[in-house]
Each structure stands twice: as structure tokens, then as C-alpha cells.
Amino acid sequence: MTTVIDGCAVATVDAAGTEYSRGHVVVSDGVIVAVGSGPAPAIAGADRVDAAGCLATPGLVNTHHHLYQWATRAVSVDDGLFTWLTTLYPIWAGITEATVGAAARAGLARLALTGCTTSTDHHYVFPAAGGDVLGATIAAAAEVGLRFHPTRGSMDLSEKDGGLPPDSVVQPLEEILAAVDAAVAQWHDPSPGAMVRIAAAPCSPFSVTRDLMRESAAQARQLGIRLHTHLAETHDEDEYCRDKFGMTPVEYLADVDWLGPDVWLAHGVHLSDADVATVAGAGTGVAHCPSSNARLGSGIAPVAALVAAGGPLGLGVDGAASQENGGLSDELRQALFAARLRYGPSGLTARDTLRIATIGGARCLGRADEIGSLEVGKRADLALWRVDGPFHSDIVDPVDALVYASPPPLARLYVEGREIVRDDRLQTLDVEAAGRALRSAAQALAAR
């Protein structure tokens, strides 16, 4: 099927930053076949969308999330990361396949309704009696219709061995490696246009062993998958690494062979200038999560330095237990403002922010040749934002309207050329039913 999107402003986010004040995008069989200025060509039998008053952008890419946490929002709301985690770990020990499925459907629906076409998920809690919790997230993504990069996360360092999580939520090293092998065999699709790809994701320096980090890196490279972990999120983590390993978090990464273009890191709040140069120089990506970092009081990541260094930099929502909003379009404004709090008004521009949220995220996931910009030959993942309404039409520049103002209404969202959202309504899932199922799952988890 061919879809012609006509009459809209277009921000392609290509390498040249090409934009059209009035242009078109043509999609056929899930691929962009034309992008340009002026009216679209006449194509017999095409589905024609009058997009006057809209801004077309690449679909947003969410580079860090914990979907299961949608079942535990607004817990430990006034605590920093370590206290927040130790409060929630015992609750998370009770999650099941049903809990995670309900949370993932609601969380992914929220992402779709805020312009996200590709999301990752860092799932690292695998209770022995929980069932197939990773499979539950993958099934939910298929229902909603998003492109999905779930990670098979892990923890093997419990409290008794000097880590942060309790014994009930950690697993032995060999069990983790076998589970990663199985997840890749069952779900990972390396082909062009793949809707599901798996990564390996040991959780954090304070919840996994050095052996797990090294073995995971070797395994991932043998399997041809990417690596993800939390790093440099808080001062507590920095102190932990110095006390435990005698080195900084980035030095620890280098020690366990975790610096490279197949790695992306969550947060990177407390990276020094030398750290930024090391990480970017290795081609290692960073997922910037401004709302979660603010909610937990962790700090403001050095995004301007990361942009200047040229390494992959994406945007992340993070788990809804530390960022109860859960929407990705809101993070554009949050990222811009947080950067300016740290660097001043020149710290980040609206177009910098849109680039981070699109092609930057695609680079983190190793898919910049397929998604993240509106270019001929790329997958047809795109958002149409309505910027002609009462709260946006007075802003002359449509990209400024998207980033500086409140998130505009979403006229259309396409993933692989399939319409997922129309006029702020999800076309693939009953959102009200998903909300009811989530509420029941959250209540059951809290009552256990």
C-alpha cells in the first residue's frame, strides 16, 4: 500500500538538517520512497493524507525504559536512587508475566500516543515463579505496533555479596548467559526492517559482578547483539565504584571490555570531560533521561559536551516508577530546559533536541541506516504533529512549536508504514481496557 502525506512542514533530520515549510512524504510497503518540497506527485490508488497544518518528523526513539515499573508508580517519591531501589526491589520480586504484560501494554500505548515509534526496554528482574516476563513485553509491543528493542537484563550481585538487590531477584551467572542465548534464538531478528531485536543488559555496577560484565560482553559480540547498562547515574554510584573497584565508572567499563560502538549506556549524568571524550571516542552511546534524573535528584547530564563530542546520544523516558509521566514527547522540552540550566541558553537548541530524540536514538540502537530521519530508503516510521491549533499556531517555526510548547496533538503516527495513531487515538489497542488491566495488576502486586 502507498500512502501520500501532503501539505505539511517537514523536518527530515537528515545529515544536512533539510526542512521544507510545505512538503510531502510518500510511503510504500513500509519504506519512504519520496520526500520533498511542494505538492506530492499524483499516485493512482494511493491513500492520500491532507497534512496541512502539521509538522512531519521522524518517529521518536526511546532509548531507555523499564516497562514493568508502570505497575509501581509513585512509590518512594521523595528518595534518591539507592533508597528508592531498596524500597522497590522487594515489591518487584513479586512481578509475574501477567503484571509485566499489563504494565507493558499501558506503557507502550503511552509512548505511541506521544510520538514514539521505536522503544527499548531494560528488563532485569526475573522472579523464579514469574513466568515469561520478557516474552510478555515483546507480545505487548506487537499488540501496540511499535518497533521494539527489548534487553535481556540481569543481576547476580545480591546484598549478601556486597550488592544492592536482595537475594530473591538475582540469578546465577550461567543461568543468565543461557537465558540470553535463548532470548536471541527465539526473538532476535537481524534482518532489515526488523520489528524486534534483543540486546544483553546487566543492570548496573552495584547489582552485577565483574564476571557477568565480562562474560556478557564476550557473549554479545559472539551473538552479534548490542550491550546496555546503567552508568554514572548518581554520586553514590561513583563512590561505590571507587570503593569497590578502585576506579571510576568509566574506567570500570574499560576494564570489563564495555567500551565500543555496540554499547549504549543509560544516564551518564556524572561523566567528566575526560569520560565524555572516552565514551564518545569509543562510539559508545548514552541515553539521556532528564525527567527521571530530575525526579530522583540525580543531576543533569553533560548533554552539550556529549553533542560536541559527536558520540551517539539518545533520549529516554526511563521507568515509570521514577518518571510517572511516561511520555516521550514531553522529554524534548525537559531535555532542552535541563541542558540550559547547566550550560545557559546556548546549551541546546530545539533542533539539537529533535535530533537527539530521533537519529541520535537510532544511532544508540545501531539503526541509523534504517530509522531516525525522513529519507528515501529508510523505514516509514514518522510522526505528524498538529501545530495549527490554538496552543501552537502562533509560533511561526513548527519545530519550536513542537519542542518549546506543550506536546502538540498527534495527527498520525506510522510504524513501518502502518498507521498506529490517528488524531490522538491509538488504533491498535483499547487504551481504557489497558488502563483497567494495569490498575488491577498494580493493586494485586501491592497487596501481595
- Report the SS3 class of residue 351: helix
H runs (alpha helix) in 132-246:
133-144, 173-187, 210-223, 235-245
The whole-number pLDDT of residue 413 equals 98
Decide: 164 and 174 in contact? Cβ < 8 Å.
no
Can you say whether residue 146 is alpha, beta or left, with left for phi > 0 and alpha for psi between -120 and 50 degrees?
A: beta
d(CA 357, CA 423) in angstroms, rounded, equals 22
Q: Which amino acid is at 429?
A: L
Decide: 73 and 129 in contact? Cβ < 8 Å.
no
Q: Is 194 exposed, middle or buried (0-12, 13-18, 19+ CB in 10 A)?
A: middle
First-last CA distance in the chain: 49
The whole-number pLDDT of residue 166 equals 87
Q: Which amino acid is at 315?
A: L
What the block records as the C-alpha cell of 52 is 496541512
d(CA 26, CA 30) in angstroms, rounded, equals 10
Q: Which DSSP helix (H) or strand (E) runs through 152?
A: strand 147-154
In this prediction the pTM is: 0.98
Q: Which DSSP helix (H) or strand (E) runs through 98?
A: helix 97-112
d(CA 325, CA 215) in angstroms, rounded, equals 36
The whole-number pLDDT of residue 163 equals 85
The whole-number pLDDT of residue 448 equals 81
d(CA 133, CA 120) in angstroms, rounded, equals 15
Strands 116-123, 263-267: pairing kind: unpaired
For 386-438, what is each residue's pLDDT tens digit? 999 999 999 999 999 999 999 999 999 999 999 999 999 999 999 999 999 99
Decide: 252 and 245 in contact? Cβ < 8 Å.
yes
**Each residue's pLDDT tens digit in the chain (448 positions)?**
899 999 999 999 999 999 999 999 999 999 999 999 999 999 999 999 999 999 999 999 999 999 999 999 999 999 999 999 999 999 999 999 999 999 999 999 999 999 999 999 999 999 999 999 999 999 999 999 999 999 999 999 998 888 888 888 899 999 999 999 999 999 999 999 999 999 999 999 999 999 999 999 999 999 999 999 999 999 999 999 999 999 999 999 999 999 999 999 999 999 999 999 999 999 999 999 999 999 999 999 999 999 999 999 999 999 999 999 999 999 999 999 999 999 999 999 999 999 999 999 999 999 999 999 999 999 999 999 999 999 999 999 999 999 999 999 999 999 999 999 999 999 999 999 999 999 999 999 998 8
- Block residue for cell numbers 488524531: 423
Q: What is the 3-state secondary structure (H, E, C) of 221-282?
A: HHHCCEEEEEECCCHHHHHHHHHHHCCCHHHHHHHCCCCCCCEEEEECCCCCHHHHHHHHHC
d(CA 390, CA 437) in angstroms, rounded, equals 34
Q: Which of the 8 DSSP states describes residue 159?
A: G
For 300-334, what is each residue's pLDDT tens digit? 999 999 999 999 999 999 999 999 999 999 999 99
For residue 23, the Cα-to-chain-centroid distance in whole angstroms is 29
Decide: 84 and 76 in contact? Cβ < 8 Å.
yes
Contact partners, residue 425, CB within 8 Å, separation at least 6: none
d(CA 435, CA 422) in angstroms, rounded, equals 19
What are the φ/ψ torsions at residue 281 (nearest 5 degrees)?
-65, -30
Contact partners, residue 409, CB within 8 Å, separation at least 6: 385, 386, 389, 423, 424
The whole-number pLDDT of residue 131 equals 95
d(CA 345, CA 226) in angstroms, rounded, equals 35
The whole-number pLDDT of residue 433 equals 97
Neighbours of 433 (CB within 10 A): 11
Q: CA nearest 91: which of 67, 127, 121, 140? A: 127
d(CA 11, CA 261) in angstroms, rounded, equals 27
Which residues lie across from 413 on neighbouring strands? 383, 421
The whole-number pLDDT of residue 168 equals 86
